[in-house]
Every structure is written in C-alpha cells, then in structure tokens.
Amino acid sequence: MSPAAASPYDEKGPGDTSPHYAENHAFQSTFDLSDADRAKGEAEVEKVKRGLAGLAEGRKSTEATVHRALSGLGYADGAIATGTFGPHRTSFILSLGALCVRGSLDGMVNGLVNAEAHGRYMEGTGCVKPKGGH
C-alpha cells in the first residue's frame, strides 16, 4: 500500500467550513466602524426596530409601507432602499455615511424585525452587498 497523498488544504481550519471560504467571500468584506459609529449604529438599529415593529406585528409590510415608516423616522429618501425576498419578507438598507443599517421584516414570524449595523462594503458598492466573487 502506498501512503495517502497529502492534502493541499490546511486541515486545521475551524469546523466544517470550506478551506477557501474566507478567500472566496472576501468581496463581501466591510470597513470597520469607529467606536462612535458602532455606538451610533446600535442606536439606529434600536430606533428602526421600534419604528417598524407595528408593521411587522400586523404583517402588513410592503416596500412602500417600510419606506414610508423609515421616512417618518427621519431618514432621507435617498438613504433608504427597500426590496422583497419571497412573498413574506420586506428588506431595507439605510445608507448613513460610513454606517449602514440592513434589516428585514418577516411576515411569517409575526412581529419580527431584524436589523444590524455595519460599515460600507470594500468593493465600492456602498451599503449594498456586492454580488459575485470568484
């Protein structure tokens, strides 16, 4: 019997992830937030969650109602982007300078508003997650 060929991958990586996961997803990297922007981001996330809770609880979120609610919270029209994912989820992105707030309302889970703050994408797409990679 001949010995097994050595693997070209570093087998000491974490868990079940692909050995090239980080390399293949580097295009989705974001800039780090300063401590001040991180604190502002946490406050914006809480503001958005409170402001959109009524739409989520009533399962009446649409792109138009989410946009209107975010405008009502004081966000400029140009800073708001909305979208849908399937028949039950409305998503949103707020572009706030170096800070991005991304989230969604899930119409199947009554009252659920998800939101998170992060820095802009390094690929130059601003707060919109870049598509592609290699």
pLDDT of 2 over the 70 cut:
no
19-54: pLDDT as tens digits: 765 555 555 677 789 999 999 999 999 999 999 998
pLDDT of 8 over the 70 cut:
no
H or E element: which one contains 28? none
79-91: pLDDT as tens digits: 999 999 877 889 9
Mean pLDDT of the chain: 83
Task: Show me where the domains of the chain are located.
Answer: 31-119
State the helix-helix crossing angle for 35-57 and 63-72, rounded to 10 degrees: 130
**Cβ pair 55, 66 in contact under 8 A:** yes
User: Which residues does 92 contact at the CB level (< 8 Å), separation at least 6?
Assistant: 48, 66, 67, 70, 80, 81, 82, 83, 102, 103, 104
Residues composing the chain = 134
